[in-house]
């Protein structure tokens, strides 16, 4: 009984004291931001046909559908061409800022608004990759995804260094951004523009109020207890969202695998042959012909795909097997991106898969990226000695500093990752 109580207390402490998976959520943030940014830039010449007021799915039809579904989109606030161009440009900007990790808590919310706004405007223009970005963009708002590999983390390090020298570093950009967004939310609420879908406006108000409380507590509280309480709440929300993201990724693969099992073409091992011979999915016909030239290869790829998708959720109990299947799925998505011409679907799925990557592997990748950046800098020596090594609060060597002002440090100061 004592052992059980000790195990439970340790589990509770781990969930409340730590924001688990900081590197995994950072990769998810970077992957989603990059996927949506590249998509918007590639489709910029076709933006009018996809989401514009003069597109085939007219503004009136979109208004009727959104009214029936209670979906959220700010594009229907006006049918003006200027409004459309402004919203599209802001969606590009929010994706870039999320990718860089600038004010990640706020940018995650604005990124979600950009994704939902454009996708809900023309729901029949999307595919499986859009659905993944749509779902993960909502979950990302609840995570503390800027604690590593972000401008927030760099600003936090510089702020800590300045405070150690006795210097004051006032934050003017944060309060200004908070005031502007509050004004926009207030205008949207008073004008009745957010009366359809209640969840997204409520989530935006919660993020806005939460940022205000965090700022006030950080500057007015005379003891550490209020800040500790906010840390615990933020860690619990983050860890719960990370669990949901992992469950969602498993559900996607399990559902896809079990539906494939029921298909006759997947059962006889010929399913992969057909999309490779469709013109829409053959940007490189010669490459597709090379794959379909061998019936044995087509059969093996078909069966292995089904087995991996069905088995993956069950391999989470064995890290080695899970890592092998994860590497295979990432490789498979890379092949799909090239052979079938679905780069954004593949990028979205790889970003979702990243939450299962081992923490040690991600830290190693981070250190290699730092070394590569140092080599590219003028005067860089290209050696490990030229790279300033950061250390985690527990004294172990690690990657970049783990904390940004908008993503506060965990209570105990350690930055663990999930055992994946």
Query: Which one-letter DSSP state was computed for residue 409?
Result: P
Cα end-to-end span (Å), the chain:
28
Q: In this predicted model, which residue has the larger pLDDT, 95 or 281?
A: 95
Q: In this predicted model, which residue has the larger pLDDT, 226 or 141?
A: 141
Q: Which residue has the tokens 């079938």?
A: 340
Nearest in space to 41 (alpha carbons), one of 352, 343, 334: 343
3-state secondary structure at position 358: coil
CA angle 329, 335, 339 (to 5 degrees): 145
Q: How many CB atoms within 10 Å of residue 193?
A: 14
What is the torsional sign of CA 307, 312, 313, 315?
A: positive
Nearest in space to 172 (alpha carbons), one of 150, 186, 155: 155
**What is the Cα–Cα distance from 194 to 74, expressed in whole angstroms?**
9
Q: Residues near 15 by Cβ (< 8 Å), separated by ≥ 6?
A: 235, 236, 239
Nearest in space to 120 (alpha carbons), one of 201, 112, 184, 92: 112
122-127: list long-range contacts, CB under 8 Å, 24+ apart. Answer: 122/50, 122/51, 122/55, 122/57, 122/62, 123/65, 123/71, 124/57, 125/50, 125/51, 125/57, 127/342, 127/345
**What is the Cα–Cα distance from 94 to 36, expressed in whole angstroms?**
10
* pLDDT confidence bin for 402, thresholds 50/70/90: very low
Q: What would the DSSP string read from start to end of 31-77?
A: HHHHHHHHHHHHTGGGHHHHHSTTSSS-HHHHHHHHHHHT---SGGG
Cα–Cα distance list, 217 to 81, 155, 214, 254 (Å)? 42, 19, 5, 44
pTM above 0.95, yes or no: no
Residue 149 Rama label (left phi>0; alpha psi -120 to 50; beta): left
Length of the chain: 420
Nearest in space to 116 (alpha carbons), one of 78, 86, 84, 72: 72
Cα–Cα distance list, 344 to 110, 136, 393 (Å)? 20, 14, 38
What is the model's pLDDT at position 420?
Answer: 40
Q: What are the beta bridge partners of residue 376?
A: none
Query: Which one-letter DSSP state was computed for residue 124?
Result: G
Q: Which residue has the tokens 């003006």?
A: 80
Residue 378, CB half-sphere, CA atoms under 13 Å: how many? 0
* pLDDT confidence bin for 410, thresholds 50/70/90: very low
Q: In this predicted model, which residue has the larger pLDDT, 20 or 4?
A: 20
Averaged pLDDT for residues 302-321: 91
Quickly count helices (H) and strands (E) in the chain: 18, 2
Q: Residues near 224 by Cβ (< 8 Å), separated by ≥ 6?
A: none
* pLDDT confidence bin for 241, thresholds 50/70/90: very high
Q: What's the mean per-residue pLDDT of the chain?
A: 86
pLDDT of 31-78, one tens digit each? 999 999 999 999 999 999 999 887 888 888 888 888 888 889 999 888
In this predicted structure, the answer to whether residue 282 has a pLDDT above a threshold of 50 is yes
Residue 320, CB half-sphere, CA atoms under 13 Å: how many? 0
pLDDT of 321-371, one tens digit each? 999 999 999 999 999 999 999 999 999 999 999 999 999 999 999 999 889
Alpha helices in 262-294 (DSSP H): 264-267, 273-276, 285-292
Residue 136's Cβ-count burial label (10 Å; 0-12, 13-18, 19+) is buried
């Amino acid at each position: 009984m004592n052992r059980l109580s000790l195990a439970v207390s340790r589990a509770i402490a781990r969930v409340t004291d730590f924001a688990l998976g900081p590197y995994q959520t950072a990769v998810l943030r970077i992957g989603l931001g990059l996927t949506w940014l590249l998509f918007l830039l590639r489709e910029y010449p076709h933006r009018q046909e996809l989401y514009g007021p003069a597109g085939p799915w007219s503004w009136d039809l979109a208004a009727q559908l959104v009214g029936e579904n209670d979906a959220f989109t700010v594009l229907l606030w006006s049918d003006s061409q200027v409004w459309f161009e402004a919203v599209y440009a802001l969606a590009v900007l929010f994706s870039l800022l999320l990718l860089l990790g600038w004010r990640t808590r706020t940018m995650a919310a604005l990124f979600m608004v950009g994704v939902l706004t454009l996708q809900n405007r023309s729901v029949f223009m999307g595919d499986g990759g859009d659905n993944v970005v749509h779902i993960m963009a909502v979950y990302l708002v609840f995570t503390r995804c800027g604690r590593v590999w972000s401008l927030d983390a760099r600003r936090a390090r510089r702020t800590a260094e300045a405070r150690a020298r006795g210097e004051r570093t006032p934050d003017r950009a944060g309060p200004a951004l908070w005031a502007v967004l509050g004004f926009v939310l207030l205008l949207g609420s008073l004008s009745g523009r957010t009366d359809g879908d209640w969840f997204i406006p409520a989530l935006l108000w919660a993020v806005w109020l939460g940022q205000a409380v965090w700022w006030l507590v950080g500057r007015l509280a005379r003891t550490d207890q209020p800040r500790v309480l906010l840390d615990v709440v933020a860690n619990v929300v983050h860890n719960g969202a990370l669990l949901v993201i992992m469950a969602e990724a498993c559900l996607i693969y399990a559902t896809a695998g079990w539906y494939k099992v029921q298909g006759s073409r997947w059962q006889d091992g010929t399913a992969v042959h057909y999309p490779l011979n469709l013109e829409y999915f053959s940007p490189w016909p010669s490459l597709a012909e090379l794959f379909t030239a061998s019936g044995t290869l087509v059969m093996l790829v078909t069966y292995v795909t089904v087995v991996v998708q069905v088995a993956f959720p069950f391999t989470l109990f064995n890290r080695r097997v899970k890592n092998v299947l994860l590497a295979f799925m990432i490789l498979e998505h890379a092949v799909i991106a090239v052979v079938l011409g679905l780069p954004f679907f593949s990028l979205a799925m790889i970003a979702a898969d990243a939450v299962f990557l081992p923490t040690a592997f991600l830290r190693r990748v981070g250190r290699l990226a730092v070394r590569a950046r140092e080599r590219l800098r003028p005067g860089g020596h290209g050696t490990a000695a030229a790279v300033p090594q950061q250390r985690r609060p527990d004294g172990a060597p690690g990657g970049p500093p783990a904390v940004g002002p908008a993503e506060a440090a965990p209570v105990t100061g350690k930055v663990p990752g999930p055992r994946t």
